[in-house]
Amino acid sequence: MLGGMRVCFVALLLLAGCAERWERPGATEAESEAAQAQCTALATRQVPPAMVWTQVAAGYWVPPERQCRSRGDGTQDCIYRPQRYIPPRFDWVDVNAQPRRAARNACLVEGGWTYEGLRPLRLY
C-alpha cells in the first residue's frame, strides 16, 4: 500500500510541474483544457484502470563495505558491513495506462487538436 501511495505522490509531483499543450487554430486555452478533460473521461470509460501486482525492480546484491576513520592518537576505527541482498520490489501497476493515454490522444486528434509539447503549469 505504501508503494502505491509513493507512486501516486510522484505522479502528482510530475503533473504539478508541467501540463500538456494541445492547440487547435482559433481555440483558447480554456477550450483546450476542456477538450483534454472530456477526452480523459472518455478514455477512462473506454479503457478503465487494470491494476496488477508486479515486480517493479529487480533484486540485487550490495557489495561489502569497510569504512575506516583515523583517530588523533594514530589508531583507526573501522566499520564493516557484509555483503547483503536487497530483494526485488513489487507494486501495483496499471497495465492499461498506456492504452488509455493512446485513446485520450486519439480523441484529441479526432477533435482537431495537435500536441505541442509541455508547458509550465500556472498555479493561479
- Per-residue model confidence as pLDDT tens digits over 101-121: 999 999 999 999 999 998 776
pLDDT at 124 over 80: no
Which has more confidence, 16 or 50? Answer: 50
pLDDT at 5: 54
First vs last Cα of the chain: how many Å apart?
Answer: 32
| Average of per-residue pLDDT values in the chain | 87
pLDDT at 18: 65
The predicted model scores a pTM of 0.63
State what percent of residues in the chain have pLDDT above 90: 72
Q: How many CA atoms lie within 13 A of 124 on its CB side?
A: 0
In SS3 terms, 23-86 reads as: ECCCCCHHHHHHHHHHHHHHHHHHCCCCEEEEEEECCEEECCEEEEEECCCCCEEEEEECCEEE
Which has more confidence, 116 or 12? Answer: 116
pLDDT at 10: 46
Q: Nearest 5 degrees, angle CA 14-CA 116-CA 93?
A: 35
